[in-house]
Structure 1
């Protein structure tokens, strides 16, 4: 997420991508990186293909 709050995606080819963070859950700060809540990021391309990242907390890691 950019400082202005917009989600930015970088690709090697030109695409129109929409990022849906509706189901992205805020995680509490803990000493070890163990997400507590289910959380999901969805990317939709110009053809309508949907790509899901996350879901169960064990599927999420650090997002940089």
Structure 2
């Protein structure tokens, strides 16, 4: 797995989560749930990939 692509995805996923938290009042109510679910999925995947990369670093 290319670590630069992984790093870019992790940074983007966490940045999206932070942006959605900071701008939650300006997002239209109908889109809030979809954006929150998408950001949550991306952050969970990024966290899993981060842990997976640390686990495989020792091998």
The interval holding the TM-score normalised by the smaller chain is: under 0.3
The structure with the larger Rg is 2
More strand by share: 1
Larger relative contact order (C-alpha < 8 A, sep ≥ 6)? 2
